[in-house]
Amino acid sequence: LVIYDLPGRDCAALASNGELGPDDLDKYKSEYIDPITSILSDSKYAGLRIATVIEPDSLPNLVTNAGGTDTTTDACVTMKSNGNYEKGVCYALDKLGAIPNVYNYIDAGHHGWLGWDSNLGPSVQEFYKVATTNGANVSDVAGFIVNTANYSPIKEPNFTVTDTVNGQTIRQSKWVDWNQYVDEQSYALALRDKLVAAGFDSGLGMLIDTSRNGWGGSARPTGPGPQTSVDAYVNGGRIDRRIHSGNWCNQSGAGLGQRPTAAPATGIDAYLWVKPPGESDGNSAAVPNDEGKGFDRMCDPTYQGNARNGNNPSGALPDAPLSGHWFSAQFQELMQNAYPPLS
């Protein structure tokens, strides 16, 4: 179950604004978390193991987009100032964590968002703070999830972050941009180690959303790029074909990823499909609607970008409907570019 209705939801984007205003914390508690808690506490579900994904993007936004950076938004500043993201997540962890058969997984962004040391350290601090205040406890946290509704691959098969070309680290390539990680599994496992060191349980598990990170099809590289420069090597070999790893909306060329799998690696509880394939990330043009959803230019295929994607083109597919609505053209492309391929 994806728990996704915080006050002032999605403060760094416009495509998936929620129903609650920035100050509607009491309503979030009484009209959202409490009813869910009541339902999941029913004895008829006691034999069902229920995993919850806690509030995608919320805590990472407080770390990177709530002040002091060129990616800051007024909405994220507001949510950091009023504390309602933190209080809401604490409340959800506390209430849902009290149910013996419910397992909470906090959203931890993805490597292309938090993978730099300057972001990862503060993120670990933020996660621990939220898990230990306002009634929440680390025992309420089964683990963390990465790549929720995103496109980053589990593993880049043709290079690692420690590779060099002509004596130069590939971290200085434009694609990697000094990130400490190049894919989700390396990021997830490193994050896990840091979280355990910060005070989380040693049995902490990680989840990876693989619904749209397959990157198969004819454009998938079959080996490393040429060793003429770090950029040629990385760009020629990377299976993630996005223009920039900060691009998140209806990405062109993406494919269905690894099928849901339990315990695929040590420290990884599961690969799973959190974002339903074929569900739009956001509308590619302004669309009048009664759902409170705005128009985020990152969903516009003609948009040339902002600080959060290095001022690169958005890479979004055209003619997309509102977020959460069925996007047939995207689904067809996801099937065509599935990796492993569909049989």
Q: Which ranges in 98-147 belong to alpha helices (H)?
A: 111-114, 117-130
Active-site residue 140, yes or no? Answer: no
Report the DSSP beta bridge partners of residue 106. 54, 144
Of 134, 22, 29, whose CA–CA distance to 82 is shortest? 22
Token code pair at residue 199? 């005070």
Q: Which of 163, 269, 281, 300 is catalytic?
A: 281
Q: Which of 5, 24, 57, 183 is catalytic?
A: 57
Is the separation of the CB atoms in 57 and 100 below 8 Å?
A: no
Is the separation of the CB atoms in 31 and 312 below 8 Å?
A: no
Interatomic CA distance for residues 279 and 327, integer angstroms: 6
Cα 33–122–71 angle (5° rounding)?
A: 85
Q: Which residues are annotated as a binding site for substrate?
A: 110, 113, 150, 248, 275, 279
Q: Dihedral (C-alpha) 318, 323, 324, 327: value to the nearest 10 degrees?
A: -10
Active-site residue 10, yes or no? Answer: yes
Q: Which residues are annotated as a binding site?
A: 110, 113, 150, 248, 275, 279
Task: State the sign of the Cα–Cα–Cα–Cα dihedral 127, 27, 23, 76.
Answer: positive
Greatest CA span in the chain, whole angstroms?
Answer: 63
Q: Which of 10, 183, 209, 300 is catalytic?
A: 10
Active-site residue 70, yes or no? Answer: no
State the catalytic residues.
10, 57, 281
